Structure 1
Amino acid sequence: MAQGCLKCLKYTMCFANFLCFLCGVAVLGFGVYMMVNFKMAALTPTLASFNLANMLLISGIVITCVSFLGFLGALKENRCLLLTFFLLLFLLMLVELTAACLLLMYEREIGRMVKEDLNNGLEKAKEKNETSTSVMNEWDLIQVQLNCCGINNVTDWGDKVPESCCLKNCNSPSVQYRSKGCLITLQNFFEENFLTTGISVIILCIVEVLGMCFAMTLFCHISRSGLGYKL
């Protein structure tokens, strides 16, 4: 009976770590996608300073490596790998909780800095120099992707409304511009995804706690059975 429960625990842990490995690969791919398609360092240096794409890349690599250690440790019944998996998973959970708490604490401050970045970026885009060209390209990109215009609305551009603000009838007197401002659109985007992100972090922490419990249970059984260095 005990051997049957152990095998069930062993293969359950292998399957769970395989799913975590796939999730890590997905996070890694999303980080590469963001790095290629979302380049707004000149427009929003505050968000760029967080290096979200690089953070996703690092997170994806860490998740895949940790899950591979857990999978291999459970499959080979290796105490060293299981203990390493437990410690890395514990550190990863602490980092995730710390990052979530910091975002909650400085949410308003980050929002204020992003608003200042957009105001500065709008002023730079109206100038005629090399810097304004790169900033204008980023404005065009964000306005098309987020379906917005200006910071609050189209009037922020004054008489120099870019083509990326146009929604319908671009070359006619009855031109129709995008109604929402980019600041409001960004705020709505983060607010809509805030609850989903919070629930995801909670579920991830629960999964990590269960993984640590499984790893310790398997580690203790292997220690009692004297198979600690089985390869």
Structure 2
Amino acid sequence: MGSCTTACAKYLVFFFNLLFALTGLILFTVGAVILARYYHYYNFVGETYWSAPLVLIVVGSVVFIIAFFGCCSAIKENSCMILTFSILLVLIFLTEIGVGISGYIKHSELPEILDHNFNKTFLSYNSDADSRQAWSLIQDEFKCCGISKPEDWREIYKNDTVPRSCCPPGTIPPDLPKNTTCTQEYAAKQGCKRQLNEFLDGYALILAGVGVSIAFVQLLGVCLACCLSRAFKENYEAV
């Protein structure tokens, strides 16, 4: 009976580790996609805010390795290896909780960070090519114009003109000359700061949901691993 229970527990933990490896792959993929797709907004958000995707990549890689270790420990029926696996799972779980708390604190500081960086890049628009490129990207991708409204560009451009990236494709009449500017008449009406803030709010909720779901899976893994370790130990003592 004991050997049957041990065998069932072993295969259950082995199956869990396959699931655990999948969660590591998901963490790695989500972190890599976010970093590759949206890192060019660091001019407005600041590099420290993008530490979360890097942490996801690192944690995802570590989780994948630990899952392999867990599979080996289940197959070998080694209670010490299972116990080590449980401790590693707890450490990963605590790390994710810490990252979640840190992310929540950083998220509460986001409006202040956006205010500072939007004004900074706006004031350096004429003198810094990196700022010009950042504004061109965000206005083109978010279909927005200026910090809060198109009129913000009056500080830099004359005659109610704005950067051409302010004007979504199809809004400019084809007979107008193709240059680096357009007029406020054809510009997007919403400001970019609000658009980016709303986007980052959504992105933070997705990360939080993924993180909490995976953390509960890992917590279940700790319980299963502890049960398996006890089963192996009892089976060994019985022999």
Question: What TM-score do you get using the length of structure 1 for normalisation?
Answer: 0.81
- Runs of at least 5 residues in structure 1 that lack an aligned partner in the other structure: none
For the pair 1:204 / 2:214, whether they are aligned, the reply is: yes
CA–CA separation in structure 1 for the residues paired with 2:203 and 2:74: 35
**Aligned equivalent of 2:188:** 178
- Compute the displacement of 1:207 (Å): 1.4
1:165 is matched with which residue? Answer: 166
- Please give the residue correspondences for 1:85-124 in structure 2 after superposition, counting only pairs within 5 Å: 85-124=85-124
- Deviation digits for residues 63-112 of structure 1 (CA, Å, limit 9, x no counterpart): 21122222222233223332222111111111211222233344332321
Bigger drift between 202-211 and 163-172 goes to 163-172
Answer yes or no: is the 8 Å Cα contact 1:40–1:48 preserved in 2.
no
Q: 1:114 to 1:219 in 2, by over 3 A?
A: same
CA deviation map 1:30-85 (0-9, x unaligned) = 43334444333761362445434422321221121122222222233223332222
Matches within 5 A, 1:3-42: 3-40=3-40
2:3–2:235 Cα contact (<8 Å) kept: no
What is the correspondence of 1:216-231 to structure 2 with a 5 Å cutoff? 216-226=226-236
Go from structure 1 to structure 2 and tell me whether the alpha carbon gap of 1:206 and 1:25 turns closer, same or farther (over 3 Å shift): closer
How far apart, CA to CA, are the structure 2 residues paired with 1:78 and 1:208? 20
Contact 1:148 1:179 in 2 (8 A): yes
CA, structure 1 residues 31+191, in 2 after alignment: closer, same or farther (shift >3 Å)?
Answer: closer
TM-score by length of 2: 0.79
- Which residue among 130, 134, 146 is the counterpart of 1:138? 134
Identity %: 25
Which moves more between the two structures, 168-177 or 153-162?
168-177
Q: Structure 1 residues 194, 34: closer, same or farther in 2, change over 3 A? A: closer
> For 1:218 and 1:42, how far apart are their aligned partners in 2?
46
Between 1:68-77 and 1:111-120, the stretch displaced more is 68-77
The separation in 2 between residues aligned to 1:152 and 1:32, in whole angstroms, is 30
Structure label with greater radius of gyration = 2
Is the CA contact 1:43–1:139 (under 8 Å) kept in the aligned structure 2?
Answer: no
Structure 2 segments unaligned to the other structure (5+ residues): 177-182
Q: What is residue 46 of structure 1 aligned with on the other side? A: 46
Asked whether the equivalents of residues 41 and 48 of structure 1 are also in contact (C-alpha less than 8 Å), the reply is no
Counterpart position of 2:198 = 188
Distance 1:165 1:75, change over 3 A: farther
Give the length in aligned residue pairs. Answer: 223
User: Matches of 1:147 and 1:85 in 2, distance apart?
Assistant: 49
